[in-house]
Amino acid sequence: MSGILILVVGPSGVGKDTLLDGARAELARDDRFVFVRRDITRPASAGGEDHHAVSRSEFEANLAGESYALHWGAHDLQYGIPKSQLAVMERGGAAIANGSRSVLDEARSRFERLGIVSINADDKLLRQRLSARGRESAEDISARIARASAFQVSGSDVFELHNDGTVEAGVQALIRVFNKIYEG
């Protein structure tokens, strides 16, 4: 594969889904970039990103069939990046996926070309965003913020994006980072 995998990572509530949705809309006509639709063991109606909802048994069957380029578990859910979603890389393009900080070492060993966008925001803003989306209890929110603070991402393949401004500013910053990664 001559293309590149771009993983977007960051703690819950940092705005990954919002920024990715905005970038997807802005880059819809740019065939260099394809946004991966992940498999998640969460109902499609649960909100958040547009994903392919699968049952745990479907996920396990896909895992056994080696259908995933990367997979991980978090917050009682399973996430998978289907290999079929990475076809753009075969023609030199960039596959952009909402990833996990927990699989970065594995991704680095599997993909010759990898870019990582690490999105962060202040803890106070994370707490506000998590509370506003209404999916987690106060205890769960505190646990997610503690996890965010404890997990740092570093490396020459990491591009930091601090998401504490407007959605539009964040989307434009993310697109600039995608272009920078793609252009190498």
Q: What is the CATH number of the domain that holds 13?
A: 3.40.50.300
Q: What are phi and psi of 77, to 5 degrees?
A: -125, 160
pLDDT at residue 82, rounded to an integer: 97
* Run of H or E including 68: strand 68-74
pLDDT tier for residue 52 given thresholds of 50, 70 and 90: confident
Local structure of residue 162 (DSSP, 8 states): E
* Run of H or E including 98: strand 94-98
Question: How far apart (Å, rounded) are the C-alpha atoms in residues 32 and 73?
Answer: 29
Question: Where in the sequence is the domain holding 68, given as residue range(s)?
Answer: 4-183
* Run of H or E including 175: helix 167-183
> Which pTM value belongs to this model?
0.89
Question: How far apart (Å, rounded) are the C-alpha atoms in residues 16 and 177?
Answer: 14
Question: How far apart (Å, rounded) are the C-alpha atoms in residues 124 and 113?
Answer: 34
13-47 pLDDT, tens digit each = 888 999 999 999 999 999 999 999 999 998 777 66
As given in the structure block, the two tokens for residue 178 are: 């995608």
Left (φ > 0), alpha (ψ -120 to 50) or beta: where does 155 sit?
A: left
Tell me how many helices (H) and strands (E) the chain has. Answer: 6, 9
pLDDT at residue 47, rounded to an integer: 64
As given in the structure block, the two tokens for residue 136 are: 């987690």
Say how many domains are in the chain.
1
pLDDT at residue 22, rounded to an integer: 97
119-162 pLDDT, tens digit each = 998 888 888 888 888 778 888 888 888 877 777 888 999 999 99
HEC states along 102-146? HHHHHHHHHCCCEEEEEEECCHHHHHHHHHHHCCCCHHHHHHHHH
